[in-house]
Structure 1
Amino acid sequence: MPENTDNRTSQSDNQTIAYKERLNSWAIARQLPNTQREIIARFRSRSDADGYMRHLHQEVPNASYTVVFDCQRQEAVI
């Protein structure tokens, strides 16, 4: 089979990065003092995030966690 040798890497790379960033929109945030939050982990589905949050509550019962949909995030994907 012939290979695709079309060199449009800059546009396709940007589209790939944008797509990858949209994959992990569900996140678990730890509630910090003074109404701030820290993203602990990111997931593709809500059910995965809920399951991991249950695990976190077993490991660290005194911490406060929340599942959030983070579509406008500025942090790196974990």
Structure 2
Amino acid sequence: MPYKDRLESWAVIRLLPKMQRVVVARRRTASDAEGYCQILCRLEPTDQFIVVFDPVFDERLVRVRQ
């Protein structure tokens, strides 16, 4: 997993029907993600967007106890 992907932990998510969601964008800071979310809300007023902290999980970095 590239280092750049691990830096962008704030996700802008579009909420879909039936509890589904789509990650629309990832940003490095919460304020950047909030700003992008506001722009999307203005451009797509019928859709719902939220910002969540979603760190990228890399299984190679985690050791599982047995």
TM range (shorter): 0.7 to 0.9
Change (3 A) 1:59 1:73: farther
**Residue of structure 2 aligned with 1:60, choices 39, 44, 48:** 44
Instruction: Choose 1 or 2 for highest CA Rg.
Output: 1
Once the two structures are superposed, residues 34-77 of structure 1 have per-residue CA deviations (whole angstroms, 9 ceiling, x without a partner) of 10110000100000000011111111111000101111458xxx
As a proportion of its length, which structure holds more strand? 2
Higher relative contact order (CA 8 A, sep 6+): 2
User: 4+ residue runs of structure 1 moved beyond 3 angstroms?
Assistant: none
Partner residue in 1 for 2:16:
32
- Equivalenced residue count is 58
Percent identity reads: 45
What's the C-alpha RMSD, in Å, of the aligned pairs?
1.8
Hey, what's the Cα distance between the residues in 2 that align with 1:40 and 1:58? 15
Asked if the contact 2:13/2:22 (under 8 Å) is kept, the reply is: yes
**TM-score, normalised with respect to structure 1:** 0.66
Q: Which runs of 5+ in 2 are unaligned?
A: 59-66
